[in-house]
Structure 1
Amino acid sequence: MKKTLIAMGVLGAFSSLAFAASNVTLYGVIEEGVMVSKAKHKDTTVQMKSGFDQGPRWGIKGVEDLGNGYNVGFILEQGFSADTGAEGTAGKAFNRESFMYVNGGFGKLGVGRTGALSSGAQSNQILTGWALGTGYMMSAWNSMTTGTLRMDNAVAYNTPSFDGFSLHAMYSNGIVEDTAKWSENNHYYGIGAKYQANAIRSSLIFEAIDNKGAAADVYPASSANKRVFLINYGLEYNLGSWTPMFAYQWFNQDEGKKTHQFGLSAKVGVAGGDVLVGGRYLFGHDESVTTGTDKVRAWNVGAAYVYPLSKRTAIKAYAGYADSSKAWADKPDTSYNGYAVILGLRHSF
């Protein structure tokens, strides 16, 4: 009888622990492939490519119910290189996201490190309109302008959804650091609107980066102390077997790039998997170049096929080609001039 009571007590303790931890989840993604690529004026290379679409990561997320419709949650996410095991960013334990939030009838308010509204990365982004997203190498939507931006010291808020509409705002008190006085930190400002109902997904985002701080901390780092302004608009319409998409971007940086970018893409169900295909065109000026003209032109086409072997594992294939003219005609970077072909595997847990 005594042993039975002890056993019941132990089982009860484990049951309580399981219940207490039931809202905490360990998750992750591992993705790696073989890539053949050639940039203009460079040799053809064959290499292992970690995270050519989805960056490898592991994370912990959890939610606690506070009652009356309120809850507190967190996301801690660390990136790494699948082919070397190296951490995503040296010195950061959770370089992809370190975010805590409160959710309720007022909306969602959170603080920490997270991705910008148009980054295509992390829990606060709302970018729409481009089937290939911000992955897939040269076909990444921001590959020729902003790249994918994650920020420290961020505050993010979004309203509840009203008939499919929601408003989103974000501010960073220091993209890398906020230890200097306010006027010497690099600040990010973002505001956007998202619509998602029935077959339509759409977003409109305005962002600014003042780059007030030291050159080592600015973003983009190649244009120190120059302000950045950015507008992104995206529209998707789900027709069932396929989803056509349209995207537009206006990018303006003082003494840097001033460009317009248009993209047409689609997601199509084929043979049990998804085909992602897109083409885009960019034109404008790049005042940072010294080739005698600052006019730039660029176009890119890309296609990917994702075939699920199970709910967690998929084979991925991608091919892309880019070509530029004017001041970017000889730029030795596959995002501007060159091609890439990739075959790989993704597993999530």
Structure 2
Amino acid sequence: MKKTLLAMGVLGAFSSLAFAASNVTLYGVIEEGVLVEKAKHKDTTVQLRSGFDQGSRWGIKGVEELGNGYAVGFILEQGFNADDGSIASGTSGFTREAFMYVTGGFGKLGAGRTGSLSSGAQSNTILTGWALGTGFGLSSWTSEIGTSFSRVNNTIAYNTPSFSGFSLHAMYSNGVGVDTNKWSKNSHYYGIGVKYQANAIRSSLIFEAVDNKGTEVASNTAGSLFNEAQWAVLNKYDPTDLTDAQKKEYKEWAETDLKDGEAAKKRTLVINYGFEYNLGAVTPMFAYQWANQDGGKKTNMFGLSAKVGVAGGDLMVGGRYLFGEDESITKGEDKVRAWNIGAAYIYPLSKRTAVKAYAGYADGSKAWKDKDNVAYNGYQVYLGMRHSF
């Protein structure tokens, strides 16, 4: 009798736990493949690459219904490299997203670490208009030729309910890296966007800015703010180690942009617009980006792409063209041009598993002619597999 009661008690406890955790989900993505890559002036490499399109990650998400249409949810997500098991970026846990939110008739309000509105990553992005998305190497809309903001810390994000297909999205970061300094010395992110999704149309218009007031100037949040000579000074290397050309450039920069020994903080402004029209068998897309940063990039980027159903899978093709200036390069020689083309094919083996193939080519000119980075000059060929759980 005692054993029966004990067994019933244990079953009851497990039943309660299962009920309490019924809205909590463990999920993830593992993607790995072989990447052949050749950047200008560099050797051809063959790599086992993790997360070439979709970053390998695992996460936990959950929702609790509060009643009267309100709910509280969370997302905790960590990236990793499937080829060696290491953390994908950073050293802390849940570097991809750590976000808690409340939903109701008012919309959705949340806070934590998450992707910016145009990042193409995480639960708050609204980027549209580019078939190859923010994966596939040099064909990513957020590759290095453009200007993008990735994930930001200390963030508050809000979006309205959908009204006739339209929704408004706003985001503010009190410190893209840290917010422990005086407010005026933190780097702040501001984003506002409108998304439309109804019938066959998806579209978004996003305005974003980072004021770069803080001491951290990460490449994925602040753009190309400093050139090599400036970084050398900022990192307190001996200026005598610089070349004559770097010394001259630093002198001109220091006379105009330095105050009390600190780098002048230059804000970065970016506008992204995207449009997609689903015709059934094919979805043509258009994307545009305008970026402006004193001392950095001042560019216009256009993209035409399409998603086509082929032989049970999806074929994505796209081409981009960028022109403008990169003021981190010697003044008078800062005109830049770049274009790239790419094609990817995803074939589902099941609901959770797919095979992926990709090929892309990039070409830069003017001041980017000899840039030895595959995002500017080079090619990539990829074959891999993705499994989600």
Structure 1 contact 251–258 (Cα < 8 Å) conserved: yes
Find the partner of 1:223 among 222, 225, 230.
225
Letter in 2 for 1:129: G
SS at match of 1:42: coil
Matches within 5 A, 1:287-306: 287-290=327-330, 292-306=332-346
Distance 1:292 1:205 in 2: 31
Higher helix proportion (structure 1 or 2): 2
Structure 1 contact 215–221 (Cα < 8 Å) conserved: no
Find the partner of 1:309 among 349, 355, 359.
349
Alpha-carbon RMSD across the aligned residues, in angstroms, is: 1.4
Matches within 5 A, 1:279-290: 279-290=319-330
Is residue 59 from structure 1 mapped to residue 59 from structure 2 by the alignment? yes
Gaps of 5+ in 1: none
Distance 1:292 1:181 in 2: 37
Tell me the residue number matched to 1:33: 33
Structure 1 contact 291–327 (Cα < 8 Å) conserved: no
Distance 1:188 1:110 in 2: 16
Is residue 334 from structure 1 mapped to residue 369 from structure 2 by the alignment? no
Question: Residue deviations 1:76-129, cap 9 Å, x none?
Answer: 000111111111233220100000001001110000000000000000000000
SS at match of 2:222: coil
SS at match of 1:265: strand
Letter in 2 for 1:326: K
Is residue 182 from structure 1 mapped to residue 183 from structure 2 by the alignment? yes
Structure 1 residue 5, shift from structure 2 partner: 4.3
SS at match of 1:247: strand
Question: Residue deviations 1:325-344, cap 9 Å, x none?
Answer: 11111111111111000000
Higher strand proportion (structure 1 or 2): 1
SS at match of 1:325: strand
Question: Residue deviations 1:283-339, cap 9 Å, x none?
Answer: 111111128511111111000000111111110000000111111111111111110
Gaps of 5+ in 2: 227-264
Letter in 2 for 1:339: Y
Question: Residue deviations 1:143-179, cap 9 Å, x none?
Answer: 1123451011000000011111100000000000001
Q: Which has the larger radius of gyration?
A: 2
Moved more, 85-94 or 299-308: 85-94
Matches within 5 A, 1:1-349: 3-143=3-143, 144-147=145-148, 149-216=150-217, 219-220=221-222, 222-223=224-225, 225-290=265-330, 292-349=332-389
Letter in 1 for 2:158: Y
Distance 2:75 2:117 in 1: 17
Structure 1 residue 216, shift from structure 2 partner: 4.8
Structure 1 contact 134–148 (Cα < 8 Å) conserved: no
Distance 1:167 1:282 in 2: 28
SS at match of 1:89: coil
Taking a change above 3 Å as real, the CA distance of residues 215 and 65 of structure 1, as seen in their structure-2 partners, is: closer
Distance 2:74 2:162 in 1: 21
* TM-score, normalised relative to structure 1: 0.97
Q: Percent identity among equivalent residues?
A: 75
**Number of residue equivalences:** 349
Structure 1 residue 242, shift from structure 2 partner: 1.3
SS at match of 2:371: coil
Distance 1:215 1:314 in 2: 39
SS at match of 1:13: helix
